[in-house]
Each structure stands twice: as C-alpha cells, then as structure tokens.
Structure 1
Amino acid sequence: MRSIEHPGVFHGLPVLTLPFLDDAGVRALPAAESVAWRLDCGQDAVPFQELWQHFLDTVDTTRVRALLVGPWWTDDYDTFAPVVERMAAAAGRFEDLRALFLADVVGEECEVSWLDMCDITPLVQAFPLLEELTVRGGGDTVPEEDKLRLRPVRHEALKSLRFESGGLPGHVVRAVGASVLPALERLEFWFGADWYGGDATVEDLRPVLAGGGFPRLRHLGLQNSEIQDEIATAVSSAPVVAQLESLALSMGTLSDTGAEALLGGQPLTHLTSLDLHHHYLTDPLMDRFRELCARSGTHLDLDEADTWDPEDEEPRYVAVSE
C-alpha cells in the first residue's frame, strides 16, 4: 500500500502548521499570504474550536490564500461536520482564499479509509474565489450524515478538484458530473476499494467521460480503482480524451485487458503525459506503451509494476485503500 504524506507545498505556497503557544507565547508569524496555513489539533492537543479561534485572532485571514485542515480531533475522533460549520460561518473573513485541503491527515494519524467526512457542499458554496479543492477521506462505517457528500453545485472559479479516498462513494462522482464548473482544468478521483465504500461505477463517470461538461478540462485522473480495466476500456472511446493534455489511470488494478483496450482505442499521442504507475501489465504490453509514447514524445510512467496470474485467482490491489 502506498503511504500518504503531508504536502510541503500547497497551491504554490510552503505549508506552515500554525503554532499555538510555546514558552515565549505566540510565535512571530509570516505574512498571511506568504504560506499555506495548516491547522493541526493533535500538535498541541487543542480542541478545534480553540485552534480555529486562535487562527482567526492571530492571522490576518483576509489575506490568507491557502488553508489545510489536518487532524481536527484531540483524544477522541470526531465528525468533520462541526469543522465545516465553523469554516462556512467565518467565510466572510477569508476574502482571498483560493485553495482548501480538507483532511490533510496521514496514516500515522488516521488511515484514509477511516477518515469520516460529511457534506462539504457548504464550503464549496461559501468560498466563491476557490480555485483548488482537495478532499481526503470518505466514511463507510458511520451514519449517513457523517459520510462524505457533495451536492451538484455551480462554481465559477474552481480550477482543480481532487478526491483522495480509500473508498469513494459513487454519489460523489455523480454529483461532480452534475456540477457546473466552467473553469475546471484538473479533476482527479481516487476510487479505492469496495470494502471501504468505493462503489463508483463506469456509469457514474459517463457525464465526465462524455466531454463538454467541463470545457477547460486538461488533466483527468481516474485512479486507485478496483475496476481499472473497465475504466480504461471506457476511456479508450471517451470523447473527453481529445481535450486532455494529461491522463492518469494509475494506482489501480490495470491489467493487459484494460491496456489492450487503451492501445486499440482512440489516439493518445496528443497527450504530454500518461500515468499508469502501480499496474499489473505484462512486459509485452509495457513495451507497446513505451514504443507508442516514444514516438509521440509523451511522458510515460510505468513504475510500480506488479505481477498477476489470472489463473491462480490471487486478487489485485489498489495502491491506497486502508
């Protein structure tokens, strides 16, 4: 399984975890717009409501451009809903917020499949200038109201939307496909495993694959899926591919079946990048991709090759599930 790490840079800004208190009191802080601020309740065992108020009191939030929410609990794990409520209520104090990372949490703090989110729609609606949104987690073992949800939205500024999940619900994929996002340039889904609630299907992806819904889309990542062959087959004839500059079908269970469909489908030679890392392709299929991309100058990632024999009934694994 692939480990997930905290980003050192987010939205082009170095990430700084907000200090709470030290022996000298509140530390000197950099200019609000010069860093991406990360909130971590586990660092000083401070309840989120106190850390959030400390953030509002000590940082000029009108100039904050990027914000990451790390562990929002201290001793006992808690739902994300109160975090959404507080952030949405204070949206008027963030006049220039352009990037938001919900649940910048790594395995040592909580496994990705155990990260219980909630309805994040209020945050998308509360920040009209938001250009980048990353959401990590899902929630398959909690009440329905505590699971990751998104209602179809219209957002004029959002350019990058990324869901990192060990089990992404299909209704989230459908909500994205039903949303109006005219500025969207990058879209990534980590689908995860069915065991952890990753029940998205190719049919859920149809509005995205059809093209036209997101006219500025240039990068599409359909990743970390147990049905990677089915996705690859659908992508092989999907109209959206013609408008892309880069495509990622990585981190999943891609085998020769999906690879043959891709190679036999529509041209991929216009792509500048094709990411297939963490796959189950045989050497002959890898060689065919190498030859194709060498001719077109497409950057190809075939790292993390694994072996698989369909006759021994051994399962294939996605890169990130638990």
Structure 2
Amino acid sequence: MSVNDNLATFAGLPVVPLERETVDDPAAVAWRIEMEDFEAPPEEFEAALDQLLERCGPAGPTALIVGEWGTAYETPFPMELLVNRADRLSGLRGLFIGEISPEQCEISWINQGDLTPLLEAFPALEHLWVRGAEDLQLTPLRHEGLRELVFEAGGLPAGVVRAIGASELPNLTFLELWLGVSNYGGDARAEDLAPILAGRSLPALTHLGLRNAEIADEVAAALAAAPVVARLAELDLSLGVMGDTGAEALLAGQPLTHLKSLDLSHHFMTTEMAQRFVEELPGVAVDVSHQQSEREWGRFTAVSE
C-alpha cells in the first residue's frame, strides 16, 4: 500500500465512505470519514461522526478510517470525540487515524496527540493504524486486545518507540513502525528499539516492520542478534536506506531461513549484496526490488515529508 492511495479493505472488511447511501450490513464494512474541506470546523467532523453512529446502531461501526478531519496540518486529531463516545462504540475493533494523502497534507505535517486515553477507552480494539507523528505521544500500558499496531510517519519520535517497548501487548502479532528521518522528528536509535527486539512484552509477535528508516543499517545490525527474530514469520525493512554495511551484518547474524518473507525493497545495496540475500535464503520470499542510488546529498527514505 502507498500513502498516495486509500485502503480498499481494513481490518478484513471492505471500506465504504460515509456518503454511500445503501449498505446491507453496517457492521460488515469499514467506514471512512473525511472532510472535503481541509479547513473544515471541528463541529463538522463531530457531526459526521454522530451521523455514522446513527447509521451503525448501538454498538457503532466495527472498523473506522478517519481521513482529513479539518486542519490536520495544525490541529491534532480530536481523540476526545471517540473517548467520550466509547459507550456508543462498543463494537469498534479497527481504527485508522489519519489516512491522508500527501496532496491533502504531507505525512510529517499531520498532527496527532496522546493515544493513551484512546487505548484505555477501547480495551477490545484489535487493529490500530496511525499516520503522522507531529506531537504524537504514548504512555506505556497493558492492552490485551491489540493484534495489529501500525505507525506510519516521516519521523517517529523515540518516546513513542520506547513506550511501545515498555508496554505489555500479549496478543499483538503485527507491529509496523515507520522510523523516518531526524529532520522530521525520527530521533529513535537502535537502543530505543532494544525492548521490542528482546520481545519479552510481545510474546505473540510474528510480523515486525521497521520501515522507512534513516538508521536502517543500525537497525539491521541490531536485528542480527535480536531474540525476537527467531519467532518471526515476516520481517520488513523496506522503504529505508539500508546499504551493504547493514546487509552484511544481517546476513552474518542469526539464521533467517525460518522466515516466510523478508522485505528489503527500496534499498541502497549493491546488486551483488542484494543477490546474496536471494541466494542464501532460497526458501524465503525475499524482496530486493527498487534499488536506489545515492544523490549528492546522500541516501533517502521512501517517505520523509
């Protein structure tokens, strides 16, 4: 999936816009709310949310995707609107906050806020995706419902990375972090990832994505001996700036032959090094597509602004 395209399915359900007039079963789709005017006043989004709740009945939607809520470039997503309606959203299992294209608002300009009250208000939430990380915050917590957690960012704050590592998420199977670049707030280093890579608080994890990383070589070196790797089925290091240094460290580390897939697409490896992954991991679906060349200012992630 590209940040330029809206999802067709989410949380295993087909996505339909709120404007669709006829839906046979409101609980069998993922609803999408988006303000046409990127400067829409807050009350317009609130009215759209209440309209959706009326359509879906007492348990609310099963899954909800929020696009532009109005001035996302300067106003955090109004988490309190969902938290204050938690009793009318008891059926909510999937939530994507900020499915906004670059034409609407660059990913690193999307304002978010503190996710902690939201997760506390929805203990049964299973899928949480968040795009944008301006002022994004999270306090360590225990959440037994989450199965899938995705943060898409041009720069993910180290504080959020550390909070995930310090949280107890016993049923999380899918974790994807777009680490990004320092110019857009992506200040995490390998040591910030250490609790995640140790895997003690993520016993069910089978998919780990550390994507879009300016520190891709550093991440690859840390993964070479990370305990969590041994129980993964899928490892995704795509969209970043990994070169031969990180690749060599990853190949020289623990075995990767148990993986079903290894995604290294959008990379700065030489052709010879990329081919080594394919040859040395014959039973793994290895993706080394989208080889990049350094520009005069150096390497670049696939998504940064």
Give the TM-score taking structure 2 as reference length.
0.94
Q: Give the stretch that moved more between structures: 169-178 or 88-97.
A: 88-97
Report SS of the residue matched to 1:241: helix
Q: Is the 8 A contact 1:168 1:198 kept in 2?
A: yes
Q: Is the 8 A contact 1:38 1:70 kept in 2?
A: yes
Which structure would you say has the larger Rg? 1
Deviation digits for residues 91-132 of structure 1, max 9, x if unmatched? 111222111101111111111010011111111111111111
Match of 1:244 in 2: 232
Paired letter, 1:263:
L
Equivalent-residue separation in structure 2 for 1:205 and 1:261 (angstroms): 17
Equivalent-residue separation in structure 1 for 2:187 and 2:133 (angstroms): 12
Unaligned runs of 5+ residues in structure 2 are none
Is 1:290 aligned to 2:284, yes or no?
A: no
Equivalent-residue separation in structure 1 for 2:57 and 2:37 (angstroms): 22
* Aligned residue among 46, 51, 56 for 2:48: 51
Unaligned runs of 5+ residues in structure 1 are 21-26, 140-146
Shift, 1:64, TM fit: 1.9
Q: Is the 8 A contact 1:72 1:80 kept in 2?
A: no
Match of 1:273 in 2: 261
* Aligned residue among 70, 73, 85 for 2:70: 73
Moved over 4 A (4+): 43-46
Is 1:12 aligned to 2:20, yes or no?
A: no
How large is the Cα RMSD of the aligned pairs?
1.8
* Aligned residue among 277, 299, 303 for 1:316: 299
Note the 1:142-153 alignment, pairs <5 A.
147-153=135-141
Q: Is the 8 A contact 1:32 1:61 kept in 2?
A: no
Identity of aligned residues (%): 47
Shift, 1:260, TM fit: 0.3
Note the 1:1-322 alignment, pairs <5 A.
3-19=3-19, 27-42=21-36, 47-60=44-57, 62=59, 64-73=61-70, 77-81=73-77, 83-139=78-134, 147-294=135-282, 297-308=283-294, 314-322=297-305
Paired letter, 1:19:
E
Report SS of the residue matched to 2:51: helix
Shift, 1:292, TM fit: 1.3
Paired letter, 2:288:
L
Shift, 1:314, TM fit: 3.8
Report SS of the residue matched to 1:166: coil
Equivalent-residue separation in structure 2 for 1:35 and 1:123 (angstroms): 22
Q: Is the 8 A contact 2:53 2:61 kept in 1?
A: no
Match of 1:143 in 2: none
Paired letter, 2:9:
V
Shift, 1:59, TM fit: 2.5
Equivalent-residue separation in structure 2 for 1:299 and 1:91 (angstroms): 41
Q: Is the 8 A contact 1:14 1:36 kept in 2?
A: yes
Shift, 1:61, TM fit: 5.1
Report SS of the residue matched to 1:38: strand
Equivalent-residue separation in structure 2 for 1:130 and 1:61 (angstroms): 17
